[in-house]
Amino acid sequence: MAFSYMPGFGNDFETETLPGSLPQGRNSPQRPAYGLYAEQLSGSPFTAPHGTNERSWLYRIRPSVRHTGRFKGANYPLWKTAPNIGDHELALGQYRWSPVPMPSEPTDFISGMRTMTTAGDAVGQSGMAAHVYVANRSMVDDHFFNADGELMIVPQVGALRFVTEMGVIELRPGEIAVLPRGLVFKVELADKEARGYVCENYGAKFTMPDRGPIGANCLANPRDFKTPCAWFEEKETPCRLIVKWCGTFHVTELGHSPLDVVAWHGNYAPYKYDLATFSPVGAILFDHPDPSIFTVLTAPSGEEGTANVDFVIFPPRWLVAENTFRPPWYHRNIMSEFMGLVHGQYDAKEEGFVPGGISLHNQMLAHGPDASGFEKATRADLKPVKLDNTMAFMFETRFPQMLTRYAAELDTLQDNYIDCWADLKKRFNGTPEGDWS
């Protein structure tokens, strides 16, 4: 079955599966067509200003009060929530990991969530968590919603199907999806196993960055974001709903599927985006701009220009700058950088940072190209070069990222990561030429 999508970012969408199931000219008729219940899902306070006011109206077989019952506690010990400080004994440092191993026991998307870092405070609705998911089985009768934040999913291995109450998103590596806070969904695997990264954003929703002097086009373009058309199932068999709420997990038993929205309209909805449609902008003579030039989506904090989270990619692109050190420069940053690699090779680290791997450069900790990358870049013949077959990304947050015990004790933590800079020699010898021997 092919699922269809509506183009645009933050549009006021409307979609119906049965003719006439979406009320016209009003939200809440006395008796909605087909005997459906009308229900509003609010993603912003009622009184949020026009540009950030987000809500959708759902027309469903049962109202959501019938999709919850008495809750019991549930246990997902590897999914952590900020604040989660002092969870381990590992000293401060720049860290890098090889990929999180695939599980051997049956694991679905929710039980396969392994938190690497947390930042900020979920209860204060600021900050984020960076997770890796690993999974080898589909959710069948289990469903989930997260009250703590929206989820950005960056698949690295295996295609997934997000069956949500507002429609179905098929997602493969190279694409991302964003599921708003509170949305009910389950995840099916289209391949045998799956792995990827998740940013759980506790703060204001991801939005498109202002482009400033770049103008009205390039970077991510609104029409390339795809929101699913309505889809529902009428399934009257035992199901469960799992809820994440202020870092705790709860489960309730249902006699039917909660994925029963026949029609909906509004601007609070899930979407996906193909990273290959990102139109990169960069240096065409010398130097290069800050990596913020590659921001796909940004989640603002209350302070202008200071993101709760930025989602930044390092896509295939031409390097043409003259008399320029072309890789990322050495730097220290007030923001904290969690990086992953979907496929290929990242230009500042030719070895050690592999697809599925992770690096963490926390607030004010120095980083930059490894010694061999520096050697190459300072001796290269600066012809135009295409960086191809690469897709690295960064979750960058204004908050320091706290490692979880899981991350600190993971077997794939690379003990020798900081050695990658050990061979950077002193080149200063008091002459303007320096020592390049």
What is the closest distance, in whole angstroms, from the C-beta atom of residue 368 to Fe ion in the complex?
8
**Cβ–Cβ contacts within 10 Å for residue 50, how many?**
5
Integer CA distances (angstroms), 231 to 17, 22, 238, 309, 374, in order: 6, 13, 20, 31, 52
Q: How far, in Å, CA of 373 to CA of 368, rounded?
A: 9
Residue 224 or residue 337: which is nearer to Fe ion going by CB? 337
According to CB under 5 A, which residues from 304 to 323 bind Fe ion? none
Q: Which residue is nearest to Fe ion (CB)?
A: 337
288 is annotated as an active-site residue? yes
Catalytic: which of 250, 256, 288, 343? Answer: 288
State which H helix or E strand residue 377 sits in.
Answer: helix 371-379
Q: Which residues are annotated as a binding site?
A: 367
What is the closest distance, in whole angstroms, from the C-beta atom of residue 291 to Fe ion in the complex?
7
What is the closest distance, in whole angstroms, from the C-beta atom of residue 336 to Fe ion in the complex?
9
- Among the listed ranges 46-54, 116-124, 246-254, 334-342, the one in contact with Fe ion (CB under 5 A) is 334-342
- Among the listed ranges 134-142, 314-322, 337-345, 413-421, the one in contact with Fe ion (CB under 5 A) is 337-345
What is the closest distance, in whole angstroms, from the C-beta atom of residue 361 to Fe ion in the complex?
5
Is residue 337 at the binding interface for Fe ion, with CB under 5 A as the rule?
yes
Secondary structure (DSSP) of 227-289: EEPP------S-EEEEEEETTEEEEEEESS-S--EEEEEES---EEEEGGG-B----SSSS--
Q: Is there a cis peptide before residue 432, judged by omega within 30 degrees of 0?
A: no
Residue 263 or residue 392: which is nearer to Fe ion going by CB? 392
Residue 147 or residue 329: which is nearer to Fe ion going by CB? 329
What is the closest distance, in whole angstroms, from the C-beta atom of residue 346 to Fe ion in the complex?
11
Residue 366 or residue 422: which is nearer to Fe ion going by CB? 366
What is the closest distance, in whole angstroms, from the C-beta atom of residue 328 to Fe ion in the complex?
7
DSSP state for residue 30 in the 8-state scheme:
S
DSSP state for residue 408 in the 8-state scheme:
H
Q: Which residues are annotated as a binding site for homogentisate?
A: 367
The one-letter code for the residue type at 181 is R
Residue 306 or residue 429: which is nearer to Fe ion going by CB? 306
Query: Which residue in this structure is represented by tokens 């009768």?
Result: 141
- Among the listed ranges 10-18, 60-68, 236-244, 329-337, the one in contact with Fe ion (CB under 5 A) is 329-337
Integer CA distances (angstroms), 79 to 31, 85, 132, 158, 199, in order: 42, 14, 10, 21, 12
String of contacts with Fe ion for each residue 339-378, x by CB under 5 A: ----------------------------------------
Distance of CA 1 to the CA centre of its chain: 26
- Among the listed ranges 19-27, 104-112, 190-198, 332-340, the one in contact with Fe ion (CB under 5 A) is 332-340
According to CB under 5 A, which residues from 402 to 431 bind Fe ion? none
- Taking CA 385 as the corner, what is the angle to CA 380 and CA 391, rounded to the nearest 5 degrees? 115
- Show Cβ contacts of residue 361 under 8 Å, excluding neighbours closer than 6 positions: 94, 333, 336, 337, 339, 367
Q: How far, in Å, CA of 42 to CA of 64, rounded?
A: 13
Count of residues that interact with Fe ion, criterion CB under 5 A: 1
- Among the listed ranges 50-58, 206-214, 335-343, 385-393, the one in contact with Fe ion (CB under 5 A) is 335-343
Residue 61 or residue 199: which is nearer to Fe ion going by CB? 199
Integer CA distances (angstroms), 340 to 72, 112, 298, 343, 436, in order: 35, 18, 17, 9, 33
Q: Please list the active-site residues.
A: 288
Q: Residue numbers of the site for Fe ion (CB under 5 A)?
A: 337
